[in-house]
Amino acid sequence: MPVGRIGMKSLVKSCPLKPGDSVAIAAPAACLNEEGRAYLEKAISVLEGWGFRVKTIPDPFRRRGYFAGGDRERAEEFMRLFSDPGVRAILCARGGYGSQRIIPFLNPQVIRTNPKMFVGSSDITTLLVYLLERCDMVPFHGPNVATRQFTKRGAKTTQDSLREALGLGLPGEIPNCRPLKGGVRKGKIKGGCLSLLVTTLGTGYEIDLRGAILFVEDFKEPLYRIDRMLTHMKQAGKLDQIRGLVFGEMVDCGRKEEVDLESVLRDLFSDQEIPIVLGFPSGHGRTSLTIPLGVDVTLDGDHGRLIFTESGLSIP
């Protein structure tokens, strides 16, 4: 089984996809509404246009409260997709809320022995961390496909990045970010939506940030809440362990406030000599690049560059 290294762990990687392979669209969190139905149809059309066969769960529009079915039901479907040898990749339909509720019913050993390319973001961050920390598998932070972000006109960069990642395990061309603190450091990239990363603390799948380049993004959070979440992670001993920090676009975070994100970050990280860059295009923004987590990267804080030096897939 192909492996990589992260700390003392060996990470399993899935193999690159090729036209004719099957990809599944899963709904492990919130239910899809009528608008989501149209987005799902468009997403299927895009993926089929790339030459993939698309499989969806039996009833992608089921709901129980605000979830896409009961907790056990969603977990069982999740495990069936991982156990199905005909499914080569699992793409999440949407985020919302609900991923963490299925974790008690998952089997990490089955997942580890059946690695798939798994892609999602927002609430799906919880599953990305779980797959990385408990299943020792490389997951991908990228667009949820039954969304306007992935299917709208003008989503070419987001779509191209996912297509590139499916075949090469890398995000394709990455634009420069805004440097906040300089320096060049290497490490394993980890992270996702900040609001969800905090919820992993104290759990059996708590994010391990020793020697990591931390990537965080979020949506419509006031700056005091971003400050509070980062302070929580700092006081939990997590941020003292990182080698660099990459912020996503932080869409609508801190709008019309007297302070700005850069001031908050300079204050919080004044005692750490690590590179920090802002505006990395993955997450809730207009563009969401698909990036592997748990792989080697170099963060160049002098020039605002994040360079992936390891693929998230097992490339011959």
The residues carrying an active-site annotation are 122, 217, 284
Cα distance between residue 54 and residue 4, in whole Å: 29
Residue type, 79: M
Q: For residue 43, which amino acid is it? A: A
Long-range residue pairs from 30-33, CB within 8 A, at least 24 positions apart, any chain:
30/66, 30/67, 30/68, 30/94, 30/95, 30/96, 30/97, 30/98, 30/123, 31/61, 31/62, 31/63, 31/64, 31/66, 31/67, 31/68, 31/69, 31/96, 32/60, 32/61, 32/68, 32/93, 32/94, 32/146
Strand partners, 9: 6
Would the CA dihedral through 241, 246, 252, 253 be positive or negative? positive
